[in-house]
Amino acid sequence: MSPLGARPRGAASAPRHACGVFGVYAPGQPVSQLTYLGLFALQHRGQESAGIAVSDGQTITVVKDMGLVTQVFDERTLASLQGHLAVGHTRYSTTGSSSWQNAQPVYRSVGDAGFALGHNGNLTNTAELAAELGMLPGMVGERSRVDSTTDSALVAELIARAWPAEARSDGRDLERSLEAVLPRLQGAFSFVLMDDSHLIGVRDPHGFWPLVLGRLDGGGWVLASETAALDIIGAHHVRDVQPGEMVVIDATGLRREHRYAEGDPRLCLFEFVYFARPDTRLYGQSVHAARRRMGEELARQAPVAADMVMPVPESGVPAAQGYARVSGIPYGDGLVKNRYVGRTFIEPTPQLRGLGVRLKLNPLREAIEGKRLVVVDDSIVRGTTTRQVVAMLREAGAEEVHFRVSSPPYRWPCHYGMDTGRRGELLAADLSVGEIREYLGVDSLAYLELDRLRRATGAQPSAFCTACLTGEYPVPVADADGDRKRVLEEPFLDLRPVDAAG
Ligand code: SF4
């Protein structure tokens, strides 16, 4: 077997997100149902577990379980969650195991009070904080009251320890504790928190993951990972929670808009490329329109003679439309996606894993037979799916396959909350574009250049994290020796586009 064929690969080929968060403060409105709908809109951000915490002003009730939002909640459960204030969470695990204990919202009681926390992101100083608290990774339950292994549980523990010994009559203990804890956190976090009468939203100073503030028509405030979750419940987008900002909502409305740290915006660039729903707006820009512009830029940068432009559905659709528009090559569908494939709960044996792509995507032979194809996708992370898609297209009679990717090679792992696996699992970690072309078995391959990608977003080009593409991390991360660095070293790789001859 060639060295390429022998490369270790994870079961999943696409990047997976960490979480979606949602919160609503709306007396007189069905807050648990609104949270359910908000989480349903954010389901793409995490499919392992879902949870809702609701307060009626006296008691906080939390329901959470493994599975999709629709599997965890039914009408009866939602009807039993009465209150005026709720937070919700959908999770994909990037720290801690995939288990009920690690599902969120995390609830902590502190004396007579309690609070619930939902977290999107990863801290980068978890080990240091755990050591400070006298907790050992993986053994935290034996050493303290923390009963799960996530960095989110660690944050809850920090807040609980910062809680004033004497509760004040103004009921702002959660806010004060949080203010004491936030300067100690490093890395990526968009939090929604609640006690029995306050809803709080917080974004880390770089704003790696989005968090928006919305307003309900009938009164009430909403926090959500994406604007699409506001749309789905009929809320208006008021503004983004700013990097380094904490907002506090209570019976008086949006009571506090507090900058706890200077912001240096570095939104994850992959929110534009892949993660966010196309109907979401980021930095005031339509994600769908930005993805079309990425395809247009790709056509200008890497033209090729072909008969049809087709997407890898559904993630590649807008970029393929953009590529077709600029190139003048007809757009067509060459792969049919099964809309009903979610989690299959099938053990990933090698034999079944091979079937996995066919379960999701099947070629349309009559559309592709004898044709020279431009196939557009938004990213290649591990490359397993792409390789199988190319093989299926060739089996179905494609004459040529030219692969175009609307983002640059993904070469360093994300430490901020997106799961791509270890560096050794990333296809482009130590392969040139020429070697990747060979591995995928395509006639030509091109990745969109970083400057073109940033321009296509329509946003300020410097306001992005690009660490997984450049190795330049806005918040220092540990290298292979455990030393904290902003820039991880790399061997020189030739990243120019290539065709079969080149
Ligand atoms: S490293 Fe990549 S995936 Fe992670 S936040 Fe930065 S741009 Fe996003």
Ligand 1 near 73 CB (within 6 A): no
Q: Ligand 1 centroid vs 269 CA: distance in angstroms?
A: 6
- 191 vs 145, residue with greater confidence: 191
The residue contributing the CA closest to ligand 1 atom 5 is 268
Cis before 271 (ω within 30): no
* Long-range pairs, 349-356, Cβ under 8 A, ≥24: 353/11, 354/388
List residues bridging with 363 in a β-sheet.
335
Q: Ligand 1 centroid vs 342 CA: distance in angstroms?
A: 24
Average pLDDT over residues 124-138: 79
Helices within 260-363 (DSSP H only): 269-270, 287-301, 317-327, 350-360
Q: Ligand 1 centroid vs 394 CA: distance in angstroms?
A: 33
CA distances from 87 to 94, 360, 381, 387 (A): 21, 33, 32, 40
* Pocket probe mutation, ligand 1, options 465, 473, 486, max atoms within 8 Å of Cβ: 465
The 10s digit of each residue's pLDDT in 76-111 is 999 999 999 999 999 876 555 566 778 899 999 998
What letters, b where the CB count within 10 A reaches 16 and e where it falls short, cover 83-100?
bbbbbbbbbbbbbbeeee
Q: CA-to-CA distance for 434 and 410, rounded, in angstroms?
A: 15
Asked if 22 and 34 touch (Cβ cutoff 8 Å), the reply is: no
Q: Please give the pLDDT value at position 5.
A: 29
Write down the catalytic residue from 19, 268, 414, 465: 19
Q: CA-to-CA distance for 447 and 202, rounded, in angstroms?
A: 35
Q: Please give the pLDDT value at position 495.
A: 57
* Pocket probe mutation, ligand 1, options 203, 269, 477, max atoms within 8 Å of Cβ: 269
Ligand 1 near 312 CB (within 6 A): no
The residue contributing the CA closest to ligand 1 atom 8 is 268
Ligand 1 near 153 CB (within 6 A): no
Sign, CA torsion 244/176/108/88: negative
pLDDT exceeds cutoff 80 at 484: no
Q: Please give the pLDDT value at position 357.
A: 76
How far, rounded to the nearest angstrom, does the alpha carbon of residue 222 sit from its chain's CA centroid? 20
Average pLDDT over residues 292-296: 98
CA distances from 279 to 51, 228, 242, 312, 418 (A): 24, 6, 21, 19, 21
484 conformational bin, left if phi > 0, alpha if psi -120 to 50, beta if neither: beta
Asked if 199 and 246 touch (Cβ cutoff 8 Å), the reply is: no
Asked if 10 and 425 touch (Cβ cutoff 8 Å), the reply is: yes
- Closest ligand 1 atom to residue 420 Cα is 3
- CA angle, residues 257, 244, 228, in degrees to nearest 5: 75
Ligand 1 near 272 CB (within 6 A): no
The residue contributing the CA closest to ligand 1 atom 2 is 468
Q: Please give the pLDDT value at position 314.
A: 86
- Closest ligand 1 atom to residue 209 Cα is 5
Return the minimum-mean-pLDDT range out of 185-189, 339-343, 357-361. Answer: 339-343
DSSP for 393-441, written as a single string: HHHTT-SEEEEEESS----S--SSS-B---GGG-TTSS--HHHHHHHHT
Looking at the chain, the whole-number percentage of residues with pLDDT higher than 90 is 69
Looking at the chain, the whole-number percentage of residues with pLDDT higher than 70 is 85
Q: Ligand 1 centroid vs 207 CA: distance in angstroms?
A: 11
CA distances from 80 to 35, 55, 114, 220 (A): 14, 12, 20, 21
Q: Ligand 1 centroid vs 416 CA: distance in angstroms?
A: 7
Q: Please give the pLDDT value at position 1.
A: 28
Question: What are the φ and ψ backbone dihedral angles of 487, each rounded to 5 degrees?
Answer: -125, 125
Contact partners, residue 45, CB within 8 Å, separation at least 6:
17, 18, 19, 20, 90, 92, 120, 225, 226, 275
* Pocket probe mutation, ligand 1, options 225, 264, 412, 416, max atoms within 8 Å of Cβ: 416
Average pLDDT over residues 320-333: 98
Q: Please give the pLDDT value at position 436.
A: 95
The 10s digit of each residue's pLDDT in 22-60 is 999 999 999 999 999 999 999 999 888 999 999 999 999
Q: CA-to-CA distance for 480 and 335, rounded, in angstroms?
A: 40
Ligand 1 near 418 CB (within 6 A): yes
pLDDT exceeds cutoff 50 at 197: yes
The 10s digit of each residue's pLDDT in 200-232 is 999 999 999 999 999 998 889 999 999 999 999
Ligand 1 near 442 CB (within 6 A): no
- Closest ligand 1 atom to residue 467 Cα is 1
The 10s digit of each residue's pLDDT in 296-319 is 999 999 999 999 999 999 889 999
Ligand 1 near 274 CB (within 6 A): no
Q: Ligand 1 centroid vs 414 CA: distance in angstroms?
A: 5
List residues bridging with 52 in a β-sheet.
63, 88
Q: Ligand 1 centroid vs 126 CA: distance in angstroms?
A: 18
* Pocket probe mutation, ligand 1, options 209, 378, 414, max atoms within 8 Å of Cβ: 414
Concerning whether 414 is annotated as a catalytic residue, the answer is no
Nearest to residue 174, comparing CAs of 190, 192, 189? Answer: 192
CA distances from 27 to 32, 170, 175, 216, 221 (A): 11, 19, 21, 11, 10
Q: CA-to-CA distance for 1 and 134, rounded, in angstroms?
A: 48
* Pocket probe mutation, ligand 1, options 426, 468, 473, 486, max atoms within 8 Å of Cβ: 468
Ligand 1 near 466 CB (within 6 A): yes
In order of start, what are the domains of the chain with their CATH numbers? 19-265 (3.60.20.10), 286-499 (3.40.50.2020)
Asked if 324 and 334 touch (Cβ cutoff 8 Å), the reply is: no
Ligand 1 near 87 CB (within 6 A): no
Ligand 1 near 190 CB (within 6 A): no
Ligand 1 near 450 CB (within 6 A): no
The 10s digit of each residue's pLDDT in 370-410 is 999 999 999 998 888 899 999 999 999 999 999 999 999 98
Contact partners, residue 167, CB within 8 Å, separation at least 6:
111, 112, 113, 173
Q: CA-to-CA distance for 345 and 336, rounded, in angstroms?
A: 22
